[in-house]
Amino acid sequence: MKSFNDQIKKRRTFGIISHPDAGKTTLTEKLLLFGGAIQEAGAVKSNKIKKSATSDFMEIERQRGISVATSVLAFLYKDKKINILDTPGHKDFAEDTFRTLTAVDSVIVVIDVAKGVEAQTEKLVEVCRMRNIPIIVFINKLDREGKDAFDLLDELEQKLGLSVTPLSFPIGMGYDFKGIYNIYEKNINLFSGNSKKNIEETIAFDDINNPELDTILGNKAAQNLRTDLDLAMGVYPDFDKEAYLAGKQHPVFFGSALNNFGVRELLDCFIEIAPSPRAKKAEERMVEATEKNMTGFVFKIHANMDPKHRDRLAFVKVVSGTFERNKPYLHVRQDKKLKFSSPNAFFAEKKEIVDISYPGDIVGLHDTGNFKIGDTLTEGEELHYKGIPSFSPEHFRYINNADPMKSKQLYKGIDQLMDEGVAQLFTLEMNGRKVIGTVGALQFEVIQYRLEHEYGAKCTYDNFPVYKACWVDPEDPKNDEFAEFQRIKQKFLALDKQGQSVFLADSQFSLQMTQQKYPSVKLHFVSEFE
C-alpha cells in the first residue's frame, strides 16, 4: 500500500492545449498508448466541432457525448498516475478551457511546425502564464516541411512571452527529417516513419563530436546538428527545473505525434519534471495537497446525453485529502452535507465507480442541480476556492420566451445551463430583460436546442449590440461620481448571475469615454478581481 503522500507524488494532472488541428488529439492518443490504456490508435475521438457543423444539432449532441468520455483520460505509466484533462480547442468553447486550466497542475502546448504560434494558443498560454502554470511545448509534425527550429523558438518567445530552452532538437525536417537529438537524455532517436513502433531505439551520444555521428547521420547532417546545438547552447539557458516549476522557464520538445516520434521522450521527461498536485489558493488560505481533510472544487459540469435523465456530471478536482464514497461532504455555498454513493473515476476512455480518490484526481459526481461551476466541497471548513472567473463574453443577445405556457421550464433551463457555464446571463437593471452572453455564436444554437430538447421550452433571440461586459468596481460606492455613473449609464447596467454589477459597453469608444469620465469606477473584463 502506498502512503497518502506517495499517492500524491505519483500523480500528474495536466492539460494539453493547442490551436485546432495542431495535433492535440493525436498526441493524447499516443500518450495513452504508452500507458497501455488503449490498444490501438484511433480510439480517442476528437471532440472538436468543425465549422460546418455549426447548425447540425445532432453533431453538437454527438460531440457533447464524446467529450464526456474524453473529459478526463487517466492512465498509469512507469508507476505514475497521469490525468489528462481535455480542453476543447474550438474557440467558441474557450471559456470551458479556461475553467479546466484552473484544475491542472501543468500543461503541454502543441504547436504545428508549419503554422507556428496561432491565435488560440496565444490566448490560452496567456492564461497559463498569468497563473504561473508550468508549461512544456511540443512542436509537432516534424515529418512535414515547416519553419526553422530557431525561428520557432524565437516565435515562442516573442508571441507567447515564454522563456524557452530546447530539450530536444530536430535533425532536418520534412523530407529530410532524420530524427531528434535529445538534449535532456543525450541521445539520438532516428526517424523511421513507422508509427507502429511504440518504443524507438535510441543511440546514446554524450559527445556529439564523436565521429560516429557522421557515420550515422552523414557528414552534412552531423555537421549541421553540431552547429545548431552549439548555437542553441549559446543562446538558451540550461534547463532549470525550479524555474520550470515556477512557470519561468519553458522546455521545448520536437517530434511527430502522428508517427509517435519524440512522444516517448516528451512523456519520460514530463513524468520526471512536471509537478505533482500543488497547493491551491482559497479565498481564506492556501491549501496544501498533503492536508488530511478533503477539499475540492467543481470546474466543469456536463449535462446528461439522455434528455429523459436530466442528471448531470459535476467534475470535482480533489485538492487535498481523500475523496471517499458515501462520506458526507459540506457543499459550502449551499451549506449542506451531501453524500455520493457512486462517484466516478476516469480511466482511459471509461468511467467507473471508485471508493477513494487522491489529490490531483478528478471525481465525476452525479448531480441533479446542486452544483454550479466554482463550488467547493470540504469536510466542514468554510472554504472558497478562487480562480474560476468569468470573462467578458463576445456575443450578446436578448433572450425571449417563445412559449408563454412554458416560462417555468424556460427559466429553469436557462438557470441550469448557466450553472453549467454554457453562457452567461445578465439581467438589465432598468427593465429586467434577460441578456445571454457567449464566447462564440455557436452557443446560442446549443442553448436553443437544449432548452427545447431537455426542458421543453422555446426561446428566440433579439440582437443586442454590446462590445464588452465589464464588471463594475467603484473605489467608493458612496461617492458622487459613482452615483452619477449609475444614473447616466442606467440603460447599460445589468446584474450577472452572482448579483455583481456589470456595465455593458456598446462600443470601444463609449467604454473609453466612460473610463475617462468616471476614473474612480474601475471596469474589469474579468469577474474576479483583487
Q: Contact residues for ligand G4P (CB under 6 A)?
A: 18, 20-26, 46, 48, 89, 140-141, 143-144, 256-259
Q: Is 20 annotated as a binding residue?
A: yes
CB nearer to ligand G4P: give 91 or 325.
91
CB of 30 to ligand G4P, least distance (A): 9
Q: How many CB atoms lie within 10 A of CB 34?
A: 19
86 is an annotated ligand-binding site residue: yes
Least separation in angstroms between CB 81 and ligand G4P? 23
Q: Which of 508, 402, 512 is closest to 447 using CA atoms?
A: 402
Q: How far is the CB of 396 from ligand G4P (least distance, A)?
A: 28
Classify strands 329-331 and 168-171 as parallel, antiparallel or unpaired.
unpaired
In angstroms, give the least distance from the CB of 246 to ligand G4P: 28
| Residue 28 assigned ligand-binding role | no
Tell me how far CA of residue 264 lies from CA of 10, 119, 253, in angstroms. 18, 28, 11
Does 141 belong to an annotated binding site?
A: yes
Residue 117 CB, nearest approach to ligand G4P (Å): 14
Give counts: helices (H), strands (E), the chain: 14, 31
Query: CA 482, 483, 484: angle at the middle one, nearest 5?
Result: 90
The reply, when asked if residue 262 is annotated as ligand binding, is no
Residue of 322, 360, 366 lying closest to 344 (CA atoms)? 366
Cβ-based neighbour number of residue 122 at 10 Å: 13
Query: How many CB atoms within 10 Å of residue 110?
Result: 25
Taking the CB of residue 468, how many other CB atoms lie within 10 A of it? 20
Residue 22, marked binder: yes
Q: Is 22 or 32 the residue whose CB approaches ligand G4P more closely?
A: 22
Spatial strand order in the sheet of 187-190: 168-171, 179-182, 187-190, 202-204
Q: Which is nearer to ligand G4P, 195 or 427 (CB)?
A: 195
Q: Which is nearer to ligand G4P, 46 or 514 (CB)?
A: 46
Query: Using an 8 Å Cβ cutoff, are 300 and 315 in contact?
Result: yes
Known binder of ligand: residue 21? yes
Provide, rounded to whole angstroms, the least separation between the CB of residue 244 and ligand G4P. Answer: 23
102 is in an annotated binding site: no
We find the least distance from the C-beta atom of residue 173 to ligand G4P, in angstroms, to be 11
Nearest approach in angstroms of CB 23 to ligand G4P is 4
88 is in an annotated binding site: yes
Q: Which is nearer to ligand G4P, 49 or 423 (CB)?
A: 49
Indicate the residue among 8 and 173 with the shorter CB distance to ligand G4P. Answer: 173
Looking at the Cβ atoms of 136 and 435, the one nearer to ligand G4P is 136
Dihedral sign of CA atoms 90, 92, 93, 99 in order? positive
CA atoms within a 13 Å half-sphere pointing along the CA-CB vector of 143: 14
Give the three cell numbers for residue 436: 445571454
d(CA 92, CA 444): 11
Query: Could you give the angle at which helices 263-273 and 24-34 cross, rounded to 10 degrees?
Result: 70
Between CA 7 and CA 228 the distance in angstroms is 41
Q: What is the closest distance, in whole angstroms, from the C-beta atom of residue 253 to ligand G4P in the complex?
A: 12
Q: Is 19 annotated as a binding residue?
A: yes
Shortest reach from residue 64's CB to ligand G4P, in Å: 17
Q: CB of 234: closest distance to ligand G4P in angstroms? A: 29
What span, in angstroms and rounded, lies between the C-alpha atoms of 395 and 379?
Answer: 40
Distances (CA, A) of 169 to 244, 254, 315: 19, 6, 38
Question: Which residue number, 96 or 143, has a Cβ lying nearer to ligand G4P?
Answer: 143
3-class DSSP state of 295: strand
Looking at residue 355, the DSSP 8-state letter turns out to be S
Is residue 25 part of an annotated ligand binding site? yes
For residues 243, 245, 249 and 252, what is the CA-based torsion angle, rounded to 10 degrees? 140
The answer to whether 217 and 201 have CB atoms below 8 angstroms apart is no
DSSP code for 456? -
The helix/strand/coil state of 187 is strand
Nearer to ligand G4P, 115 or 159 (CB): 115
Q: Quick one: 174 or 237, whose CB is closer to ligand G4P?
A: 174
Find out whether 89 is annotated in a ligand binding site. Answer: yes
Separation of alpha carbons 458 and 109, rounded Å: 40
24 is in an annotated binding site: yes
Residue closer to ligand G4P by CB (options 26, 424) is 26
Q: Is 504 annotated as a binding residue?
A: no
* Residues tagged in the binding site annotation: 18-25, 86-90, 140-143
* Residues tagged in the binding site annotation for GTP: 18-25, 86-90, 140-143
